[in-house]
Amino acid sequence: MIRPRPEELLARIAAALDETVLPNVTHGPSRRQLQAATSVLRRLAHAIPREAAVIAEDAADLEQTLRCVLGDKFVAPDATDLPARHIALQAIAADVPQSNTLLDDYYARSVARELSLNPDKNKSDG
């Protein structure tokens, strides 16, 4: 893939906006919009290169957990595309009768994975 990669580009766009545009937008809703935009760009720059691996790991973990929880009743989703398969597995989990220790343990691991994509959110409200 030709560089700069998306995450590199997003990070540089955020930096350029901070350096060249933000100083000229001194107050009010426009400044807040700009600050929010650069914050989102930085988050995406961190998350994009990690997201595929996190989804793959989470989908495998969830599928394994559901196989343990449901046993013979588990029907694997048809979807082979990883994000679609992940969503389909989540839908199965959401329909499982709740208060299941194995699923609760999975949810804790899944939340930890999500947090790794958003370290700033973890710091601000942990």
Partner 1 sequence: MNAAASLETRLAAFIGAQEPGAANVVITNVTPVSGGNARRAFAFDAAWDVAGKHTALPCIMLAKAEPGQLETDLETEFRVLRALQDSDVPAPPALWIDTTGDSLGCPTLIMERIAGTSNIKALLAAEPAAANRAIAEDLAAAAGKLHTLAWRGKNLGNLETPSPETVAGEQVVYWENLFLKNRMEPLPAMVAAFHWLKTHAPKAERIVLLHGDFRFGNFLYEGAKITALLDWEMAHLGDPMEDLAWAYRPLWSPARHMTLEDFAARYTQHSGIPAPAANLRFYRLFSEIKHAVISLNAARAFADGKANSLRMSDRMTMLPGLLKNFQDGVRA
Q: Decide if residue 126 touches partner 1 (CB under 8 A).
A: yes
Q: Of 4, 6, 40, 79, which one interacts with partner 1 (CB under 8 A)?
A: 40
Q: Decide if residue 68 touches partner 1 (CB under 8 A).
A: no
Start-to-end Cα distance in the chain: 36
Judge whether 93 and 109 are in contact, CB under 8 Å. Answer: no
Q: Decide if residue 53 touches partner 1 (CB under 8 A).
A: no
For residues 103 and 90, give the distance between their C-alpha atoms in angstroms, rounded to a whole number: 11
Q: Decide if residue 114 touches partner 1 (CB under 8 A).
A: yes
- Could you give the C-alpha distances from 53 to 63, 82, 108, in angstroms and in order? 15, 10, 18
**Residues contributing to the site for partner 1 (CB under 8 A):** 28, 32-33, 36-37, 40, 43, 87, 90-91, 93-94, 96, 98-99, 103-104, 107-108, 110-112, 114-115, 117-118, 121-122, 124-126
